[in-house]
Amino acid sequence: MYVCGPTVYDHVHIGNARAFIVADVVRRYLEYKGFSVKMVSNITDIDDKMIKRANETGLNIQQLGEIYSDIYFEDMAKLNLRKPNVNPRATQHIPEIIEKIEALVANGHAYAVDGDVYFDVSKSKDYGKLSGNRAKALKVGARVEVNPKKRNPADFALWKQQRKGELGYHSPWGKGRPGWHIECSTMASEYLGETLDIHMGGKDLIFPHHENEIAQAEAVTEKPFARYWLHNEWLTVDGKKMSKSLANFVTVRDALKTCKPQVLRFFLISAHYRSTIDYNKESLSLAEANLEKLSSALARFKALTERENRTFKEEHLLSDIEDGKRQFEAALDDDFNTPLAISAIFNMVKAMNIYAENNTHIEGKTQTQVARILGQLLDILGIAVEAPKPQVTHMGIAEGLVELIGELRQEMRQRKDWKTADKIRVKLQELGVVMEDTPEGTRWKMKS
């Protein structure tokens, strides 16, 4: 599978993150089902946006690319994405890109003009089969740039002549750099062969990027470029499309200042990948609350005392867990329906809670089996459930904190610092905690 990665000129935003997390879940589930998966996700480190940002910052393109590549990898690690098998960079594949362009020129699908090379869409009979944007329907001024060098308005650049101050590579057409589309199709075929199984990316990449990838690749190989295309929908912010002009542009780093990585990941898979999802405080709060419910249920279940023999109630629990597992798999088998899969997990959690409410003991093997199945399914979603925070009493004092204060008070007594020890005892009593000094040590209890 090939996943279009970032253009490393800026921080990755949460819309990008959604695409990468969706691809990560797809990969995890395929591996769970027994497939051997090779994932390739590129880094675009030479591009118009890269050049513009480098000029704005005073950095060269290589420096800019390294800075934002590192930030991207750090952000994805926080969101618990498994590393792709290959993370190719466009600048490391210039010879292969030039070779592909030469092949397109040789077979008549591309033409060179004054150091630039363009793909001739009129030679591609089924151009537009992915997006529906047929070459004849594309008009200048809509989605097509005005360029007198082109034979057809819809033709797109494979190689761009070097301009003053730009990074350039030697080629048969003079110094220049590759176009964005040829970078991806070259890297994809370099590592995954002439026909990929799955190609993924955001909806915004369908046209022109993915459409042009198909045209280039198939013009060389005369074989299907990809068997399946999966595109995730838009992400909105408070009901509006995310845009720098609207000042609602949210990077992963900004989002993680307001919520934990697991919360952001859980939120981004809470809707089907082909549905729009809205980023807002309420949605994040709901995701956080659901993760806390999950965490509390697991902690409560694991706290059950073990016994040797399994009971009828445990058999019923195991049946509910297996049903939940089947529901989970059926959801992801049906176009990777993550919200339905999450619902199946909470059906399992409900069964665990009902058991824990009515029983204090469980067979060790049953407890292990339930935790293993649930953990396995959560791992497919990339969710690592954190241990719940210490329970707090009705007076607002955590039991663990009271224990620690009691130990410190005991040290004061051993040093014969009676004044400090008494002060601690009085203050705790005001908070509803009674300290009792006995020959066996200090004990505490809540005021009745």
Gap between the Cα atoms of 337 and 203, Å rounded: 17
Other C-beta atoms within 10 Å of 316: how many? 13
Gap between the Cα atoms of 428 and 402, Å rounded: 9
Q: Tell me the HSE value of 72 on the side-chain side, using a 13 A CA sphere.
A: 23
Task: Order the strands of the 277-279 sheet from edge to edge.
Answer: 240-241, 235-237, 277-279
Contacts of 200 (CB under 8 A, 6+ apart): 1, 2, 3, 4, 19, 22, 23, 26, 229, 230, 231, 232
How many residues are listed for the chain in this entry?
448
Q: Tell me the HSE value of 50 on the side-chain side, using a 13 A CA sphere.
A: 26
Contacts of 136 (CB under 8 A, 6+ apart): none
DSSP letters for 37-92: ---EE-BB-SSHHHHHHHHHHT--HHHHHHHHHHHHHHHHHHTTPPPPSB--BGGG
Helix and strand element counts for the chain (H, E): 14, 15
* pLDDT of the residue at 398: 59
Q: What is the CATH number of domain 2-246?
A: 3.40.50.620
DSSP secondary structure code for residue 138 in this structure: -
The burial class, CB within 10 Å (0-12 / 13-18 / 19+), for 64 is buried
Gap between the Cα atoms of 364 and 96, Å rounded: 57
pLDDT tens for the chain, residues 1 to 448: 999 999 999 999 999 999 999 999 999 999 999 999 999 999 999 999 999 999 999 999 999 999 999 999 999 999 999 999 999 999 999 999 999 999 999 999 999 999 999 999 999 999 999 999 886 656 544 445 678 899 999 999 999 999 998 999 999 999 999 999 999 999 999 999 999 999 999 999 999 999 999 999 999 999 999 999 999 999 999 999 887 778 889 999 999 999 999 999 999 999 999 999 999 999 999 999 999 999 999 999 999 999 999 999 999 999 999 999 999 999 999 999 999 999 999 999 999 999 999 999 999 999 999 999 999 999 999 999 865 655 444 444 456 787 788 888 888 888 888 888 888 887 887 777 888 777 666 777 776 5
Q: Tell me the HSE value of 431 on the side-chain side, using a 13 A CA sphere.
A: 21
Gap between the Cα atoms of 47 and 68, Å rounded: 14
* pLDDT of the residue at 142: 45
Q: Tell me the HSE value of 424 on the side-chain side, using a 13 A CA sphere.
A: 23
The residue ranges of every structural domain in the chain are 2-246, 291-381, 399-446
* pLDDT of the residue at 337: 98
- Cα distance from N-terminal residue to C-terminal residue, the chain: 63
Fold annotation for 291-381:
Four Helix Bundle (Hemerythrin (Met), subunit A) (1.20.120)
3-state secondary structure of 200: strand
The burial class, CB within 10 Å (0-12 / 13-18 / 19+), for 139 is exposed
3-state secondary structure of 193: coil
Q: What are the C-alpha distances in Å from 245 to residues 12, 240, 241?
A: 17, 12, 10
Contacts of 365 (CB under 8 A, 6+ apart): 310
pTM comes to 0.85
DSSP secondary structure code for residue 12 in this structure: P
* pLDDT of the residue at 200: 98
* pLDDT of the residue at 247: 82
Q: Is the dihedral of CA 6, 7, 10, 15 positive or negative?
A: negative
* pLDDT of the residue at 136: 63
